[in-house]
Amino acid sequence: MNAPVKPGITELSDGALARLLEAQPAFRRVQIRHAVYHGVAQTFADISTLPRALRTDLAARLRFSTLIERRTEVSQDGTRKILFHTADGAALEAVQMPGERGPDTTACISSQAGCAMGCTFCATGAVGLTRSLTAAEIVDQFLHLRRSSDPRHTPHRVVFMGMGEPLANLQHVHGAIEALVDPDRVGLGARRVTVSTVGLPVGIEAMAGWGWPLGLAISLHAPLDDLRAELVPPARRISIASLMAASLVYQERTGRRAEGSFYSGNWFVQKCATGGGILVGGQVIALSNLPAGAAPEAVSQDVITQMILLYCGAITVLGCIAAYWLGRFPIDRAQHEARVAALDATARADVDAAVTPP
């Protein structure tokens, strides 16, 4: 019979830790919290500020981390990817990414072991979902990256862009973010945490009520429902209109503008994007491309032409819908009108090229 798994130190609330240490002076709890969330110790034995007997007792009753490192890979640009296993054998990955400028790095962490969304360009989607991760398993990814980092390149940002759909694991993602932004635990600013979602409106609206100005990144990949459904299976039942409505609620409540990611193999999006943004459902969404290395089958030219024709017909209506909301955000109105005109002209030129024989 297997022995029961000991709880992880990051699973304990401050009250639970206080009860565990009731025979110790109160300052010991502060020492332990600081060592776990801000120190470089990898085990309880490494916490030199604690008496040896206490370190031994903690190791007998708790796990220092809920994760076991299995493999680390480092690329030429300094990107570091770590494969972890949980106590029950679930596999997950976390990545530390170098910044474009300066020494700061970003921790890209997973919210689930595997993923059930099935996006056609995503390797994790092909694996399927093993299970959702606990709040402690999510936080321990960041702590492991921070403890094992070169002090000059300590991660100061977190993006939920690893394995899994964060908004399909709302309870534990909320608990993890609570620890990440708590000054007495990890202590990151909420604006340094970004949650990426395939686009679950109920989850986005739930995030809007959490009270933190978190970044929101939506995996749009196309500005029209039919084309998006070819890449993102949940789009077959979740329209862009409902997704953009939830996005507006989030932006209004938090004051943070949503970012949209687009699969860079999407010819239609490449043609319609201008000035780093794209008009989707009445909103100008910041544009960031995903690499096209794991490209799905190309969308047929006929489908693309149909989508462009639909887009040209809808562009004026979308511009009117956007007018009110654009006034609420720091976007120059004249600049926006010029962008829409250029977008419309580009789309029409593509239609002419597609239907005119060479």
Domain spans of the chain?
A: 9-61, 67-297
- Cα-to-chain-centroid distance, residue 83: 18
Cβ distance 177 to 194 under 8 Å?
no
| Mean pLDDT calculated for residue range 231-249 | 91
Give the pair of three-digit tokens for residue 16.
């639970």
85 vs 65: CA distance, rounded Å: 11
Task: Tell me yes or no: is domain 67-297 CATH 3.20.20.70.
Answer: yes
How do residues 258-278 score in pLDDT, each as one tens digit?
A: 887 765 555 455 555 544 454
Give the pair of three-digit tokens for residue 211.
């009270």
Cβ distance 165 to 35 under 8 Å?
no
Residue 225: per-residue pLDDT? 87
Cβ distance 207 to 216 under 8 Å?
yes
pLDDT of 243 above 60: yes
Amino acid residing at 139 = V
Range from 118-122, 312-316, 340-344 carrying the lowest mean pLDDT: 312-316
Q: Report the chain's mean pLDDT, rounded to a whole number.
A: 81
Question: DSSP letters of 168-226?
Answer: GSHHHHHHHHHHHH-TTTT---GGGEEEEES--HHHHHHHHTS----EEEEE---SSHH
pLDDT of 182 above 60: yes
For residue 105, the cross-strand partners are 98, 155
- Give 330's DSSP letter: T
Burial track 69-79 (b if 16+ CB lie within 10 A, e otherwise): eeeeeeeeeee
Amino acid residing at 44 = F
Q: Find the distance separating the first CA and the last CA of the chain, reported in whole Å.
A: 74
Angle between helices 135-147 and 170-181 (to 10 degrees): 40
How do residues 110-149 score in pLDDT, each as one tens digit?
A: 999 999 999 888 888 888 999 999 999 999 999 999 999 9
Number of Cβ within 10 Å of residue 306's Cβ equals 16
Range from 139-153, 154-168, 344-358 carrying the lowest mean pLDDT: 344-358
Residue 158: per-residue pLDDT? 98
Of the pLDDT bands very low, low, confident and very high (cuts 50, 70, 90), residue 339 is low
Residue 316: per-residue pLDDT? 36
Residue 289: per-residue pLDDT? 47
23 vs 171: CA distance, rounded Å: 33
Burial track 93-129 (b if 16+ CB lie within 10 A, e otherwise): bbbbbbeeeeeebbbbbbbbbbbbbebbbbebbeeeb
Residue 230 or residue 55, greater confidence: 55
Three-class HEC string of 275-327: CCEEEECCEEEEEEEECCCCCCCCCCHHHHHHHHHHHHHHHHHHHHHHHHHHC
Among the CATH numbers 1.20.120, 1.10.150, 3.30.460, 1.10.3470, which is that of 9-61?
A: 1.10.150
Range from 1-10, 115-124, 328-337 carrying the lowest mean pLDDT: 328-337
Of the pLDDT bands very low, low, confident and very high (cuts 50, 70, 90), residue 37 is very high
- The torsion angles phi and psi of 178, rounded to 5 degrees, stand at -55, -40
Number of Cβ within 10 Å of residue 162's Cβ equals 23
Q: What is the pTM of this model?
A: 0.77
Determine which helix (DSSP H) or strand (DSSP E) holds 105, and give its type and residue range: strand 105-108
How do residues 202-231 score in pLDDT, each as one tens digit?
A: 999 999 999 999 999 998 887 788 888 988
